[in-house]
Chains A and B, each alone.
Chain A
């Protein structure tokens, strides 16, 4: 991984835009009915497993409560988000980025190796091999690409009544439409958590080189 591939860089920034707009418009949609349930149905607060706090206006799109406007953004950006994810998976599998850099090997799952990685992170020591990911990075990217991002697409489809005739089996796997809605919310906040961690670690490690490499591709052997 001497340089970030063009496909990686293109997708990274497109996906950032999608995720930010989807998250902020999603907060408005949450405000429309800020309770989450398990199972197929739910309305009453007593059945909710989570009473979601109201998200204040400045965190939301369009910046005030307007469900129709939030849905306009959410349903538009769902397209580049989902198609972009498909694109980056195909690109990562074709150019070897996934197999070479992200896929973990069995040996890396040893507790000692993981503990060492955790300790190094806590010391803010990011001097592991240039251009390679450590175990925690691989595992995190694996969860983001393998679970959270596709999970958001599939739970979003499961919430849509127009897709229920064909995708009823998927809704049932998720435990019902309200379970799918809860998972959509959980995955959304997990991505937000990843975003915060990702930005924090970039700032703590080598922000200028990281930014440059994600924009221009970086110098050879330097990322």
Chain B
């Protein structure tokens, strides 16, 4: 037992030191820099248009878990009750022609279907088949203005009293596998997976794939959105904004 106490004490001292570094200004800057190096390395080694792995129908996982919010509150239950007939997806912000689309409008756009692997930051993975228009189709229809640098995804769900949101830069926004999905495995999206619309950002972790999508907003900076971190978990827990790792 003594040896274990010694180990625990040594570990506590070491961990306390690590936490002091992590809480210092240089430590914070170093973590942010490391995230940037990863993003740069990924962008350097993976061509801009390179596709995330796609799978065959027989690879699909039998059950696609829902994480985070799995049953939103507020107006959502009423929308769910009438089959999302009145659901609107706005495309707004730094665009020349703001749009407000019904699910029917979205279903009539050119569609992309892809079988991809979803990787959660916690470590699990699931394979599913997603269908929906490419985000680039919507952004081109709305016409991005010169100043636009990021695309923010607004959501109908709240977690612990704050609205869920996420964001990507234009490289990921215009990637051909970045779609606004309304179908999973050939059926309308289940509520736990983000009905009626969710994002697929296939080269990043699951928390970037905003569910219960209500608006797509083009912005020049993320500073004034939420707490400025670029997403719900980024603001709340300090998760990486670039979630390709």
* Contact surface of A with B, Cβ cutoff 8 Å: 20-21, 24, 29-30, 32-33, 35, 40-44, 58-63, 66-69, 71-73, 75-76, 78-79, 159-168, 171, 177-178, 181
Q: Is B203 on the interface with A (CB-CB < 8 A)? A: yes
On chain A, the residues within 8 Å of B124 by CB distance are: 33, 35, 41-43
B22–A62 contact, CB under 8 A? yes
State whether A165 touches B123 (Cβ < 8 A): no
CA distance A71 to B240 in the complex (A): 9
List of B residues within 8 angstroms of A40 by Cβ: 55, 59, 117, 125, 127
Q: Which residue of B lies closest to A80 (CB)?
A: B34
Residue of A nearest to B51 (CB): A165
- The count of chain B contact residues (Cβ–Cβ below 8 Å) is 52
Interface string of B41-82 (1 = CB under 8 A from A): 010011100111101000101010100000000000000000
Residues of B within 8 A of A (CB): 8, 11-12, 14-16, 18-19, 22, 30-31, 34-35, 37-39, 42, 45-47, 50-53, 55, 59, 61, 63, 65, 117, 119-127, 202-205, 233, 237-240, 242-245
A165 to B46, CA, bound (A): 6
CB distance B125 to A58 under 8 Å? no
Q: How far is the CA of A58 from the CA of B126 in the complex (A)?
A: 32
**In the complex, which of the residues B34, B52, B61, B122 contacts A32, with contact meaning CB atoms closer than 8 Å?**
B122
In this complex, the member of B42, B65, B240 whose beta carbon has the largest number of chain A beta carbons within 10 angstroms is B42
What are the residues of chain A within 8 A of B121 when measuring CB–CB?
Answer: 32, 67, 71
In angstroms, how far is the closest chain B Cβ from the Cβ of A36? 9
Contacts of B42 in A (CB 8 A): 160, 162-163
Q: How far is the CA of A33 from the CA of B39 in the complex (A)?
A: 24
Q: How far is the CA of A41 from the CA of B38 in the complex (A)?
A: 24
* From B30, B52, B53, B244, residue with most partner A Cβ within 10 Å: B53
Instruction: Judge whether B123 and A33 touch: CB under 8 Å.
Output: yes
Instruction: Give the complex CA separation of A164 and B42 in angstroms.
Output: 9
Given contacts A71-B245, A73-B22, 8 further A-B contacts (CB under 8 A): A32-B122, A62-B15, A72-B34, A75-B35, A76-B34, A161-B202, A164-B117, A165-B52
Are B203 and A165 neighbours in the complex by a CB distance under 8 Å?
A: yes
Give 12 pairs: A residue, B residue, CB < 8 Å, sorted on A: A21-B18, A30-B123, A33-B123, A40-B55, A44-B63, A62-B15, A62-B22, A63-B15, A63-B16, A67-B122, A75-B35, A160-B245
Report if A43-B14 is in contact (Cβ < 8 Å); known contacts: A75-B245, A76-B34. Answer: no
Report whether B46 and A71 are in contact in the complex, using a CB–CB cutoff of 8 Å: no
Q: Which listed residue (A42, A59, A68) contacts B238, Cβ 8 A?
A: A68
Decide if A168 touches B238 in the complex (CB within 8 Å): no
Distance in Å: Cβ of A112 to nearest Cβ of chain B: 37
Closest to B38 in A: A75
